[in-house]
Every structure is written in C-alpha cells, then in structure tokens.
Amino acid sequence: MTAIRTEALSRTFGPVTALDNLTLEVQRGEIFGLVGPDGAGKTTTMRLLTAILEPSAGDAWVAGHHIVREAERIKEKIGYMSQQFGLYVDLTVEENIRFYADIYQVPRRGLDEKIDELLSFSDMLRFRRRQAGRLSGGMKQKLGLCCTLVHTPDILFLDEPTNGVDPVSRRDFWRMLYQLLRRQVTIFVSTAYLEEAERCRRVALLHQGRLLSCGTPAEVKTVMHDTVLEITVAEPRRVQQLLKESGEMGRTALFGHKLHLVTADAVASRRRIDAVLQQAGLPAAEIRPVEPSLEDVFVAVLSPGEDTDAVTR
C-alpha cells in the first residue's frame, strides 16, 4: 500500500528551482531516506509533503490525500519534526508533551497512559520533570520525537533529526525509529549522515532539486560504475595532495584515517600510487578494492572532478 506518492512535483522560489519534477513512491510501513547535500531540496520536499508549501507544478498524495486539495486531512495523519522543532525550554519534558497533545487535540482520556508509554519508549521516564532547556541535544531530539508521536500519526516526517547529535544519541534515536516500524508507522527521513541512510529500506539521492537515483542502498550504489580503492597510509591528507598534484588520477576522498580513490582503471591507479609514494620517500601503502558505500557514491556523483573530505559527519 502506497503511503506517499509524488508525480513531477516541483517548487520554485523566483528564479530558483528548489525541487524539479520529483516522482517517487513510499510504501506503508517502510523507512525511506532522502539524501543530498545542503541545497539539494530535502527540506522543500518535506514542506511540500506536509502541506506547508504548495507546489509550483506537479502533484503528490500523502496517506491517500492530495497535498493541496486535502491539506487539512493530511495534517491529521502525519507527524512532522522539522530541523528547528519548537520545544519550550521553560516547560518540563512532560509539560512539552502535554502541550503538543493539546495542539493535536488528543483526547484527555487515556492521555496519562499515552505519555507514560512515550516516556518509556524513549527511555526518558526519569527525566519527565526536567526542563527541556536542561536536556542534552540527543535528549531534546528524543523529546521532539515524543511530541511528534503524541497523536499517533500514520506517517512520520523527520528533517535531519540527528543533525549535530552525538553518535550514541543518534544510535538511540534510530533504535526508536525501528521500534516504530514494527508498529507499521511509515517514516520519511532526510539525513546528511550517509551511514544512517544505509539503515533505510530505500533511499532517494537528490542533487540541486533533481532525483539522481532511487532504490535500496545497494541499488543506489550501482549508479557508480568505477572501482573504489581504499588506501591505508600514515598521512592520508598529504598523500591525497600528492596524488592530486601527480595528475591523471581518479577522484579521492578522506574517510577518517583512510583515503578512498574512485578510478576507472584500478591496476594503473595502483601503479601510480606506488610511484607517487616512492618518489615522496613515503612507506608503501596498503591498497585494496572495497565495495562502494553511499559516501563514495555521494562523492563520485555529486562532486565530479573534485577531491574532498568524506561528506558524513
């Protein structure tokens, strides 16, 4: 069953095209990731699908309702957590949830039990009387999710929900999302953390408002036909610069303490790397082909011809 469907959905802001002919489908009960750099059109897509913005062209249906003609019906069935989700710092955790329950007109009957369930679900029972302003970044995001879930939405829209959150809190947040999947909640999430996109059932790769690829993470990786060589060296940044200066090399990206090289000719690239290191008086590198990650695809497809740091944070 289709939860979200778009047909040539577009949005312009004056001369700027923020979203250009987006066509995709999201099935009920799946977690779908929207991936792309800043300015790719992720937030615009979210705001269109949550009936906050109207499209310049095209159509979309969410929970079976048209985003323009039936906007109010959509808002009853979705939860939307924006990048700047509005928690009230002077209110406690519980008071924030009750506030959003009032906004969503959640019946008072059974609300106490619902709040207890949400606090237990998010592992925040012991913080129910703490002011939101005194929570860590990760806990604020979990509270924001609780507030978004208080009216039991069928579809959840999350716009970069773990941006700036520490790795442990990000892991806890995703644990909560997987629990929601077991309840058949559809989750539409945008993220700049590409390792998070690997956790989605399917992903859409956006760039400059256009859809480049859509499918499972494994399917999206097939848009890159070159080989990825992982180079393990003591000074990866220096080696990256040396390879760039040598000319006729493939595209490189730093991944922590390793260097990834995207190349159409792995054998020739190995020889060139060995020669560059030998000429610079550096120890030989460990070089091996690796399966491309979404990070590699991101670098190869969205940054053609450029050397870069890995785009994950």
Q: What is the Rg, in whole angstroms, of the alpha carbon atoms belonging to the chain?
A: 22
- The CATH number of whichever domain residue 292 belongs to comes to 3.30.70.100
Candidates 47, 85, 245; CA nearest to 163 is 85
pLDDT of residue 311: 41
| 18 vs 47: CA distance, rounded Å | 12
Q: Note whether 185 and 232 are same-domain residues.
A: no
Specify the pLDDT at position 31: 96
Of 202, 220, 238, the position where a domain reaches its end is 220
What are the 10-residue block averages of pLDDT along the chain, 313 residues in total?
96 96 96 90 96 97 97 94 88 96 92 94 93 92 93 94 84 90 94 85 93 90 84 90 78 82 88 90 90 77 51 39
Q: Looking at the structure, do residues 240 and 215 belong to the same domain, yes or no? A: no
For residue 290, the number of C-alpha atoms closer than 13 Å in the C-beta half-sphere is: 19
Do residues 109 and 216 both lie within one domain?
yes
Residue numbers of the domain that contains 247: 227-309
Query: Both 234 and 188 in a single domain?
Result: no
Count of domains for the chain: 2
Please say which residue of 220, 251, 278 terminates a domain.
220
Last residue of a domain, one of 220, 241, 273: 220
Q: What is the pLDDT of residue 247?
A: 75
Q: Domain with 75 in it: what CATH number?
A: 3.40.50.300
Residue 88's H or E segment, with its range, is none
Pair (80, 194) in one structural domain? yes
Q: What is the pLDDT of residue 15?
A: 96
Same domain, 176 and 282: no
pLDDT at 194: 79
